[in-house]
Every structure is written in structure tokens, then in C-alpha cells.
Amino acid sequence: MDDLQIQLLIDLHRSNFRQGPGGEAETKQALMLAGLDKSRPLKIADIGCGTGASTIQLAKELDAEITAVDFLPEFLKELQSRAKEHGVADKITTLSCSMDALPFTDEEFDVIWSEGAIYNMGFEAGVSAWRSFLKPGGKLIVSEITWLTAERPSELQSHWDAEYFEIDVASAKIGVIERHGFIPEGYFYLPTSCWIDNYYRPMQNGFDAFLERNSGSDQAREIVECEKAEIALYEKHRDHYSYGVYIAKKI
Ligand code: SAH
């Protein structure tokens, strides 16, 4: 991806509340399944936080000191201004860094949270690398693109084989979690509303303004076409895949 493409993607996504599928009720459900101790301050890393949909919710619901990590400083800037609006800026520190080169120390965190982002380094690599940053008994809460069915139409299979070869069924993802020294404590998958109402619709509503801001450049148009194709694929095949949300405890 060249620099201009990255700038365009930032421009398209920055003003949206989320940069991936998710929802407040679902973040709450994950919190509940994780059974976090609310009686003491928790040290949390939110990795691939984007503009902070989950970060801000966690800051509001928990007694927490949160490090919000993303490799795009533009998203972190937006997160900081939203955190101020919500009165939780003092609970959040931002860190612009790649998720595969985190500067954390061993057993630093009570919780590692990551919504819609771990695929950027690969699920298995992320689960394995991030484990060391958790205290024993610490919790990993991570959402990951997941097949909901054992069989899929070939059009869909070949799309995802090309996009992200690690996409798999939940039982396989849970196997990865187990093999890397975690006890799986919970799993559910995001309902359609998390994709359509919370992510795709707001993005679609911004397409015209995005094209106008970028004078309808070929690259901007290409990005919109690419997002439209992704949305059409989801609408056609949504019974076959979603984000799975995995909750696990470090042994
Ligand atoms: N958690 C947010 C954003 C999900 S989109 C939400 O649910 O809304 C994925 C995020 O991962 C984006 O913000 C993107 O900038 C970030 N990202 C992608 N590759 C990354 C990397 N290598 N290191 C850190 N962040 C990365």
C-alpha cells in the first residue's frame, strides 16, 4: 500500500465511530464473560484501538489505566479528543506503535483487549506474542474473523483464502488459544447489526463527502469500489462468517 492510499484510508475512516465491526452491547458482553475484578485498578492494553470505540467504553466501565495502541497517529489523535469529550482522558495513554513490535514488559497487564485488529499480524502470532505481556491469570479478549459454518460457497472461500488465510472456524481458533497457554473462557460472535448498522452504514454514508474531499481521484474511487465490494460480499454471505469474540485466561 502506498502513502497516498494510506492517507485516503485514514480520511475515509477517521471520522467514523468504529473502524471495524463491533458494538457496545457486545463489548459489554465480553466484559461480563471476562469477569474482571472491578474492585481494583486494572492495567489494560487495547491493541489496534482505532479511534477508540472500545477504549472509551472500557475507560467508562472500569477502574482502569489503559494504553491504547495503534500504528496510525491520526486515529490516536481522534481518540484523545473523544476521550476528553467523555471525561476519561486521564485514564488513557496512547501509543503509536506496530502491534508486532510492542515495547511492553513481561507480565505488565491484567487485560489485553483487541477488537477487529489482530488479523493484521495474524491471530496465532498475536496470541503467542501478546501472552508474555499478561500477568498470570490475566485475560485476553480478542475478536477475530471466523467461519460460522463448516462449509462455505467457493466464491466466499476463495475471497478469504486470498485476503486472510488464517480465517477458520471457532473450534480451530479456540485450539490456537489452548496451544498457546490459555484457558478459553468464552466465545460468541458478532450479530449482523455490528457489521451493518455500526460499521458499514456509517462508512457508506460518508462515501460522497469522501469523494468530494478527494476530488473524485481514481485512487479514492478505487477505495470506495473496494469497500462496496466487501459490503456486497458480506450482505450475500453473512450467515457464513463474522467476528468471533474470544475470552481467555493466561495459565
Ligand atoms: N478496534 C477498532 C479498530 C479496528 S480496525 C475498532 O473496533 O473500531 C483495525 C485497526 O488496527 C486500525 O485502527 C488500524 O490502524 C490498526 N492497525 C492495523 N495494522 C496495525 C499494526 N501493524 N499495528 C498497530 N495497529 C494496526
- Per residue in 6-49, pLDDT (tens digit) is 999 999 999 999 999 999 999 999 999 999 988 889 999 999 99
pLDDT tens track for 144-186: 999 999 999 999 999 999 999 999 999 999 999 999 999 999 9
- Examine the pLDDT at 67 and tell me if it is beyond 90: yes
Q: Is the CB of 113 under 6 A from ligand 1?
A: no
Q: Is the CB of 206 under 6 A from ligand 1?
A: no
* Dihedral class, residue 48 (left if φ above 0, else alpha if ψ from -120 to 50, else beta): left
pLDDT tens track for 70-80: 999 999 999 99
Q: What is the DSSP letter of 40?
A: S
Mean per-residue pLDDT of the chain: 97
Residue whose CA is at the smallest distance from ligand 1 atom 15? 72
* Ligand 1 center–CA 99 separation, angstroms: 9
Give dist(CA 101, CA 29) in Å, integer: 29
Report helix angle 218-237 to 154-163, nearest 10. Answer: 130
* Ligand 1 center–CA 47 separation, angstroms: 7
Give dist(CA 181, CA 139) in Å, integer: 12
pLDDT tens track for 130-139: 999 999 999 9
- Pairing type for strands 64-70 and 42-47 reads parallel
**How many CA atoms lie less than 13 Å away from 221 in the CB half-sphere?**
4
Name the H helices within 113-217: 123-131, 154-163, 170-179, 192-195, 201-205, 207-213
pLDDT of residue 58: 97
* CA-closest candidate to residue 204, choices 185, 227, 187, 175: 227
Residue with cell 485476503: 163
Q: What SS3 string covers 69-118?
A: EECCHHHHHHHHHHHHHCCCHHHEEEEECCCCCCCCCCCCEEEEEECCCH
pTM for this model (two decimals): 0.97
CB of 53 closer than 8 Å to CB of 82: no
Q: Is the CB of 17 under 6 A from ligand 1?
A: no
